[in-house]
Chain A
Amino acid sequence: MVPGGANLCPGARAMSVSEMFISLQGVLTADQDIREEIRKVVQGLEQTAREILTVLQGVHQGSGFQDIPKKCQKAREHFNTVKIHLASLKTKFPADQYYRFHEHWRFVLQRLVFLAAFVVYLETETLVTREAVTEILGIEADREKGFHLDIEDYLSGVLTLASELSRLAVNSVTSGDYSRPLRISVFINELDSGFRLLNLKNDSLRKRYDGLKYDVKKIEEVVYDLSIRGLSKTATGGAGEEK
């Protein structure tokens, strides 16, 4: 296979150039196979995530506000499917190579964090903790223990929740629920102060954080509209005084 070149230095050469490249090619092919497997599972996850979103989108319609608990219940059932998918994703690659394939599931994981956070918000009106998300998704909280939730993915999911809530504030006014926007306002403002504590780098998370102020503004406008018309019976926090 290797003429000439091999003779130049007999003994020192344990492996010929072509043998080396053949073994490297094997490594690369194995890598591609893993990626293919991961992609398949991620597709399933994306499908389930879309289904959950459809269930939860119901809250934006007039009648949806009555049976929020029922919708949350249904969404939580779907999360069981997510657990199954994620459990099978774990088996597709070596546990210590999480970040090597991270890009493949990054997007869908952020979406799932958002959905879990949305469900928890609708149920309890609190921010889901990172640990609680990992529990809902059936994954680990710490990197050491296996398939975990990266902090940046968690924060991205939370930012998506903020824009969803600003939309919910508008729609809840339309359906005559005037107290919800005030509660959302308090919640989002707290989130905003939380994010101010972070020193973000100039990356995708920072870009998404930059959108948070528009959500805050939108909700403040809704609260303002309600308070000048006397529609908010309690002058919560005086948020309406602004602007």
Chain B
Amino acid sequence: MSSKEGGFRKRKHDSFPHGQRREEKDSINFSSSIMTSFKMFQLELDTRHDKYERLVKLSRDITIESKRTIFLLHRISSASNVEEILTESEVKLDLVRQKIKQVAQELMGEDMHQYHRAISPGLQEYVEAVSFQYFIKTRSLISLEDINKQLIFTEDIKEEERKPSSDSPNKENNTWNIKVTPVDYLLGVADLTGELMRMCINSVGNGDIDTPFELSQFLCEIYDGFSYIGNTGPYEVSKKLYTLKQSLAKVENACYTLKVRGSEIPKHMLADVFASKTEIIDQDDGLS
């Protein structure tokens, strides 16, 4: 404790005359034009960094909540709990959208791309969650337009009063919107395929024989889509293509086994067969 304090004191001692020396030496006028403009720069940079940090924090929250929603959706076992879980996930996603609304408010009047790196991970996770829920509901892929449509927020008085940081009351238009970029959408959809693969294996384990085939079909369409884009997209997209291929292979193999063994084994025993199959696949997953 005392040594730590000593170290601190020493440093302070070292730096203090140093600063004083400079002031004396250069006889710097702290109201000179250079100093005044740098004070303004300080203000501008600090404002920008603060905003960035706030956005990173929001993005983290969005990521965490979206992940939880995905876990929740995985609990669907094609039994009677479907409706219940879907409603619950809708509530969760609404909470996520409230966070995204805050992001939109932060970005009001700013160039979205300037802060894109701060919020991109959160948006991708949100796309993954929302498209997963959409798939479970409708068995199809949500479009970028539909996602963006949900991210238009209109004025809500109660929300307004709760947030002291917002300066929007004096703004005339009371809508905020944020647009998911095509690249974020693609990356989110690529992540979605991983979730679909898990869902496929799970449903096999549950003895559901139809879902795997639907998923295989759907994944195949997405894979075709990504192949069509190929390397026109940015680097991250082509990177995901490899993982996507692996997911697709797993699902196709599951369907294959189901077809071959399905005709041999009585239906009530299928669950046992695939319960063991799931373990093998999971082990493979862990190794790779």
Contacts and interface: CB of A to CB of B under 8 A. Distances in A.
Contact of A13 (B27, B140, B225): B140
Contact of B28 (A127, A193, A199): A193
Interface string A134-161: 0000000001000000011001000000
Nearest to A20: B143
B232 A28 contact: yes
Given A9-B140, A194-B34, A143 B42 contact: no
Contacts of A237: 25-27
A12 B138 CA distance: 7
Interface residues of B, number: 47
B35 interface: yes
Nearest to A131: B37
Interface string B104-140: 0000000111101000000000000000000000111
B6 to A, nearest CB: 26
A206 to B, nearest CB: 11
B26 A99 contact: no
A142 B228 CA distance: 41
Interface stretch (B75-83, B156-164, B213-221): B213-221
Question: How would you classify the secondary structure of chain A's contact residues: helix, strand, loop or mixed?
Answer: helix
Contacts, number: 134
B22 A18 contact: no
Nearest to B32: A190
A237 B27 CA distance: 7
Contacts of A194: 34-35, 37-38, 41
B49 interface: yes
Interface of B: 21-22, 25-28, 32-35, 37-39, 41-42, 44-46, 48-49, 111-114, 116, 138-141, 143-144, 182-183, 185-186, 214, 217-218, 221-222, 224-226, 228-229, 232-233
Given A14-B143, A151-B44, A190-B32, 4 more contacts: A5-B221, A24-B144, A28-B229, A197-B41
28 contacts: A5-B140, A8-B140, A9-B139, A12-B138, A12-B140, A17-B218, A17-B221, A18-B225, A21-B225, A24-B229, A25-B229, A28-B183, A28-B233, A98-B114, A99-B111, A99-B116, A100-B116, A102-B113, A102-B114, A126-B33, A129-B33, A194-B38, A197-B35, A199-B46, A199-B49, A237-B27, A239-B25, A242-B21
Interface of A: 2, 4-6, 8-9, 12-18, 20-22, 24-25, 27-29, 32, 96-100, 102, 126-127, 129-130, 143, 151-152, 155, 186, 189-195, 197-201, 237-239, 242
